[in-house]
């Protein structure tokens, strides 16, 4: 039988249409006879008395109507609501024609016959196509077993994905899960709807392997609650993309993706203030240093949305510059790519003057703690001296606004990376105290999710390799924020500056890195290994790295802060040094960094000027 189905299915499209037409041409007159036979309760009946060769008219007229409505052009395997609607319309037209024939006395047709014929005709067209579709799918079905999934969310997206999964070879929808009590216990698309509590108990019984979140518009906080409600279940969590990605109104199986940990750790974003986003950008020439980095590149993406006159990309890495330049060339904004180092003040001044730059976002810095700890002179030269030369260039060329992007590691640092950032802050604060025409601001925040320095990409790679997932210490915590939110807040904070301001981004609650690792393992469909060795992926503690802290801080003086007009931005008042004093220190730092042979003096300078900094012997790289 399968061989017959395969041979028919392999026929050219036109020949398959002819086969369907011939079958219907034979069946339609049979349906008319059956209507009369049932009506009169006997097989020997006269059909459409008074109209000779009625079977020819019934067959040809029926086929013609079906053809006009595209019934034979549709692919039977895509049997759906649109196909059924076309069959319904074609059936209705034929019922009307039969009543017209009766009204015109062209043939004897009892009043009930058109409706009976219509019912039989629709049943034939529906069930014949359904059988063809079922037989074809069974014949050509893949041999592997479909994954059994529960769909969380019985809304429109859930219904659409359920229909799509039913037609797929990889997934089998088993049930819906929904919070609405009015829906619980009901059936939708043939699938029963359960509450979260009942569904959790039945996941094992139904052999469900994955839970699919079909709630595209749900917020991050709610999504996190939903996922945590299934912590005890041994299932993988998948999701559909955000509502903005479903603009065509149709959900496809290919839309299914893994839940991104970034969505769960990030908070629901606060709508930005348009006037703050545009103040230093719209119709202005803007430059971003470190434009190819994680924060720098996202700043560039956000900036081009607000119609700058021109955007200058200043970057030391050729590949990073090439990548962001190529990405932004698709916009209608003038993009200037400049390859250079922020330690080259002469070049910075030339570029600022040549393009009449009005706003600078200084994101250029080394950020990997262990690497900078091993290469302190390079770290200080690039981050501290580079910042000093950048802001000096901006002031000399009359730039309107200079914004330094800093880090929580600058607060009471235990590493050179953080200390070099704090020195950069001190230089900006000292220079701002001289009241230059350039408005200088500092924006300080913690880790951004998904950046090259974040643990998230590392954990993903380790989980994909089967573990172990490496965590430095069981108690280590970090603040996290998504890159787009951080970039938007940096722009808004810079717009609120008046000179020498230190802005802090509200990072929410700190996250234990070991909890982050466990959640990522869980979302990947695995169990983290316990003390008895039970589970799939082990978490291995490697010990704090050189210069690394258990926790980070955003404030040096917790009392000296005030709120701003933006609920996610705080302003801090912190001690700094007079500019003449800090400038002389930087001249010495510059000489020592270029020499690269006196770590004792470097260490002493950092300890004297950076509050809380204490370090072991520095490497002489």
Mind giving me the DSSP string for 537-549? B-EEE--PPTT--
Give a yes or no: residue 615 inside a domain.
no
- Choose the final residue of a domain: 140, 156, 176: 140
Give a yes or no: residue 446 inside a domain.
yes
Q: Are residues 303 and 415 in the same domain?
A: yes
Q: Are residues 136 and 155 in the same domain?
A: no
160-208: per-residue pLDDT in tens? Answer: 888 888 777 778 888 999 888 888 888 887 888 998 888 888 887 888 8
- Residue 267 in contact with residue 290, Cβ under 8 Å? no
Q: Are residues 424 and 568 in the same domain?
A: yes
CATH number at residue 313: 3.40.50.720
- Residue 334 in contact with residue 311, Cβ under 8 Å? yes
537-585: per-residue pLDDT in tens? Answer: 889 888 877 666 676 665 555 566 778 888 788 888 878 899 999 999 9
- Residue 463 in contact with residue 425, Cβ under 8 Å? no
Q: Give the global pTM.
A: 0.66
88-117: per-residue pLDDT in tens? Answer: 998 999 999 999 988 888 888 888 899 999
- Residue 119 in contact with residue 32, Cβ under 8 Å? no
- Look up 614 and say whether it is catalytic: no
Pairing mode of beta strands 191-194, 171-177: parallel
Its domain, for residue 196, covers 147-259
Q: How confident is the model at residue 352, as a pLDDT? A: 96
Q: How confident is the model at residue 430, as a pLDDT? A: 93
325-343: per-residue pLDDT in tens? Answer: 999 988 889 999 999 999 9
Give a yes or no: residue 527 inside a domain.
no
Tell me the helix, strand and coil percentages in the chain, rounded to 5. Answer: 45, 15, 40
Q: How confident is the model at residue 383, as a pLDDT? A: 94
> Of the ranges 27-36, 154-163, 186-195, 471-480, which is most confident?
27-36
Please, where are the H alpha helices in 305-442? 318-328, 345-354, 369-374, 376-379, 386-396, 416-432
- Choose the final residue of a domain: 123, 140, 157: 140
Q: Are residues 176 and 301 in the same domain?
A: no
Q: Are residues 507 and 370 in the same domain?
A: yes
Q: How far apart are CA 140 and CA 9, in angstroms?
A: 10
Give a yes or no: residue 311 inside a domain.
yes
Q: Are residues 389 and 437 in the same domain?
A: yes
Coil, strand or helix at 446: coil
Q: How confident is the model at residue 591, as a pLDDT? A: 83
What's the whole-number average pLDDT of the chain? 83
From the list 224, 279, 284, 409, the catalytic residue is 409
341-382: per-residue pLDDT in tens? Answer: 999 999 999 999 999 999 999 999 998 888 888 888 888 999
Q: Is the pLDDT of residue 1 over 60?
A: no
Q: Are residues 190 and 234 in the same domain?
A: yes
Work out whether the CA dihedral 600, 605, 607, 608 comes out positive or negative: positive
Measured at the CA of 390, the angle between CA 387 and CA 396, to 5 degrees, comes to 140
Using only the alpha carbons of the chain, give its radius of gyration.
35
Q: Are residues 330 and 387 in the same domain?
A: yes
Q: Which two tokens stand for residue 398?
A: 């009359």
Please, where are the H alpha helices in 266-383? 274-279, 294-304, 318-328, 345-354, 369-374, 376-379
Q: Is the pLDDT of residue 264 over 70?
A: no
- Choose the final residue of a domain: 259, 293, 322: 259
- Secondary element (H or E) of residue 3: helix 2-9
Q: Are residues 96 and 186 in the same domain?
A: no
Total domains present in the chain:
3
| Residues 6 or more apart whose Cβ sits within 8 Å of residue 610 | 413, 419, 422, 423, 426
Q: Is the pLDDT of residue 7 over 70?
A: no
Give a yes or no: residue 214 inside a domain.
yes
Half-sphere exposure at residue 360, Cβ-oriented, CA atoms within 13 angstroms: 34
Q: How confident is the model at residue 436, as a pLDDT? A: 92
- Residue 195 in contact with residue 177, Cβ under 8 Å? yes
């Amino acid at each position: 039988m399968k061989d017959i189905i395969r041979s028919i299915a392999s026929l050219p499209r036109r020949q398959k249409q002819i086969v369907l037409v011939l079958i219907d041409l034979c069946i339609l007159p049979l349906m008319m006879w059956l209507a009369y036979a049932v009506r009169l309760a006997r097989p020997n009946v006269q059909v459409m008395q008074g109209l000779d060769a009625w079977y020819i008219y019934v067959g040809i007229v029926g086929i013609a109507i079906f053809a006009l409505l595209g019934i034979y052009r549709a692919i039977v395997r895509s049997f759906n609501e649109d196909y059924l609607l076309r069959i319904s319309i074609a059936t209705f037209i034929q019922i009307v024609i039969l009543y017209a024939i009766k009204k015109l006395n062209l043939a004897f047709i009892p009043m009930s016959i058109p409706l009976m014929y219509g019912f039989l005709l629709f049943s034939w067209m529906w069930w014949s196509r359904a059988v063809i579709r079922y037989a074809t799918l069974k014949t050509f079905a893949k041999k592997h077993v479909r994954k059994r999934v529960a769909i969380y969310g019985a809304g429109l997206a859930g219904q659409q994905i359920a229909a799509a999964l039913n037609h797929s070879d990889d997934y089998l929808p088993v049930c819906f899960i929904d919070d609405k009590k009015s829906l619980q216990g009901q059936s939708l698309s043939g699938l029963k709807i359960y509450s979260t509590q009942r569904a959790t108990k039945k996941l094992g019984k139904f052999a469900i392997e994955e839970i699919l979140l079909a709630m595209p518009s749900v917020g991050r906080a709610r999504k996190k609650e939903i996922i945590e409600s299934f912590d005890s279940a041994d299932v993988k969590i998948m999701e559909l993309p955000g509502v903005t990605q479903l603009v065509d109104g149709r959900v496809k199986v290919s839309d299914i993706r893994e839940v991104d940990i970034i969505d769960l750790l990030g908070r629901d974003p606060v709508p930005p203030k348009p006037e703050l986003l545009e103040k230093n950008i719209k119709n202005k020439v803007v430059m971003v240093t470190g434009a190819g980095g994680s924060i720098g590149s996202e700043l560039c993406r956000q900036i081009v949305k607000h119609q700058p006159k021109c955007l200058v990309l200043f970057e030391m890495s050729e590949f990073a510059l090439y990548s962001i330049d190529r990405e932004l060339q698709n916009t209608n904004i003038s993009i200037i790519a400049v390859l250079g180092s922020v330690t080259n003040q002469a070049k910075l001044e030339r570029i600022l003057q040549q393009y009449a730059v009005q706003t600078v976002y200084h994101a250029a810095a080394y950020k990997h703690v262990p690497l900078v700890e091993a290469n302190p002179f390079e770290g200080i030269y690039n981050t501290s001296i580079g910042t000093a030369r950048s802001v000096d260039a901006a002031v000399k060329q009359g730039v309107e606004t200079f914004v330094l992007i800093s880090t929580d590691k600058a607060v009471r640092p235990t590493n050179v990376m953080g200390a070099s950032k704090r020195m950069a802050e001190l230089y900006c604060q000292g220079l701002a105290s001289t009241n230059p025409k350039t408005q200088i601001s500092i924006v300080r925040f913690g880790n951004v999710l998904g950046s090259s320095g974040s643990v998230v990409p590392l954990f993903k790679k380790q989980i994909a390799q089967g573990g172990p997932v490496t965590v430095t210490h069981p108690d280590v915590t970090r603040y996290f924020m998504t890159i787009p939110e951080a970039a938007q807040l940096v722009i808004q904070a810079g717009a609120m500056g008046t000179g020498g301001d230190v802005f802090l981004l509200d990072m929410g609650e700190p996250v234990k890195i070991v909890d982050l690792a466990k959640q990522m393992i869980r979302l990947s469909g695995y169990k983290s290994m316990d003390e008895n060795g039970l589970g799939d992926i082990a978490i291995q503690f490697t010990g704090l790295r050189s210069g690394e802290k258990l926790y980070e801080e955003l404030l040096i003086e917790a009392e000296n802060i005030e709120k701003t007009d933006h609920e996610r931005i705080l302003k801090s008042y912190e001690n700094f040094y007079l500019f003449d004093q800090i400038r002389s220190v930087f001249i010495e730092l510059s000489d020592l960094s270029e020499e690269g042979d006196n770590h004792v003096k470097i260490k002493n300078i950092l300890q004297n000027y950076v509050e809380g900094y204490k370090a072991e012997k520095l490497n002489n790289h």
